[in-house]
Amino acid sequence: MKRILTGLKPTGDLTLGNYIGAIKQMIKMQDEYESYIFVADLHALTVPQKSEELKNRIRNFIAMYIACGIDPNKNVIYLQSDIEYIPCISWILECSTYYGEASRMIQFKEKSKENANFSVGLLTYPVLMASDILCVDTDYVPVGIDQKQHVELARDIAIRFNKKFGDTFKIPEPLISAAGTKIKDLKDPTKKMSKSEENPVGVISLFDDKEVIRKKIMSATTDSEMRVIFDEENKPGISNLINIVVSLTGKTVKDIETMFVGKNYGEFKKYVADIVVEKVGEIQEKYNKLINSKELDEILDKGAKKVRELALSKYAEMREKVGVVR
Q: Which is nearer to ligand AMP, 6 or 124 (CB)?
A: 6
Determine if 193 is a binding residue for ligand AMP (CB under 6 A).
yes
Which residue from 325, 298, 7, 314 is spatially nearest to 137, judged by alpha carbons? 314
What is the DSSP secondary structure assignment for residue 201, as one 8-state letter? Answer: G
b or e along 160-180 (b: 16 or more beta carbons within 10 Å of the residue's beta carbon)? bbeeebeebbeebebbeeeeb
Angstrom distances, CA of residue 63 to CA of 68, 73, 289: 9, 14, 9
Is 30:69 a contact under the CB 8 Å cutoff? no
Tell me how far apart the alpha carbons of residues 183 and 202 are, in angstroms, rounded to a whole number.
Answer: 11
Determine if 241 is a binding residue for ligand AMP (CB under 6 A).
no
Which residue from 194, 182, 197, 176 is spatially nearest to 247, judged by alpha carbons? 182
Least distance to ligand AMP, CB of residue 156, Å: 24
Tell me how far apart the alpha carbons of residues 105 and 43 are, in angstroms, rounded to a whole number.
Answer: 16
Q: Which is nearer to ligand AMP, 13 or 156 (CB)?
A: 13
> Contact region for ligand AMP (CB under 6 A) — 19-27, 84-92, 210-218, 288-296?
19-27
What residues numbered 113-172 form the site for ligand AMP, per CB under 6 A?
144
Which residue from 140, 107, 138 is spatially nearest to 124, judged by alpha carbons? 107
Determine if 195 is a binding residue for ligand AMP (CB under 6 A).
yes
> Contact region for ligand AMP (CB under 6 A) — 133-141, 175-183, 213-221, 230-238?
175-183
Q: Active-site residue numbers?
A: 111, 192, 195
For ligand AMP, which residue of 7, 10, 17, 189 counts as binding (CB under 6 A)? 17
> Contact region for ligand AMP (CB under 6 A) — 14-22, 38-46, 52-60, 120-128?
14-22
For ligand AMP, which residue of 160, 182, 251, 308 counts as binding (CB under 6 A)? 182
Determine if 183 is a binding residue for ligand AMP (CB under 6 A).
yes
Angstrom distances, CA of residue 69 to CA of 66, 73, 78, 323: 5, 11, 16, 44
Tell me the site size for ligand AMP, rule CB under 6 A. Answer: 13
Q: Which is nearer to ligand AMP, 18 or 80 (CB)?
A: 18
Which position's Cβ is nearest ligand AMP?
Answer: 21
Sign of dihedral through CA atoms 133, 79, 282, 257? negative
- What is the residue type of 315? Y
Determine if 21 is a binding residue for ligand AMP (CB under 6 A).
yes
Q: Which is nearer to ligand AMP, 144 or 266 (CB)?
A: 144
Determine if 227 is a binding residue for ligand AMP (CB under 6 A).
no
Q: Which residues contact ligand AMP (rule: CB under 6 A)?
A: 17-18, 20-22, 144, 180, 182-183, 192-195
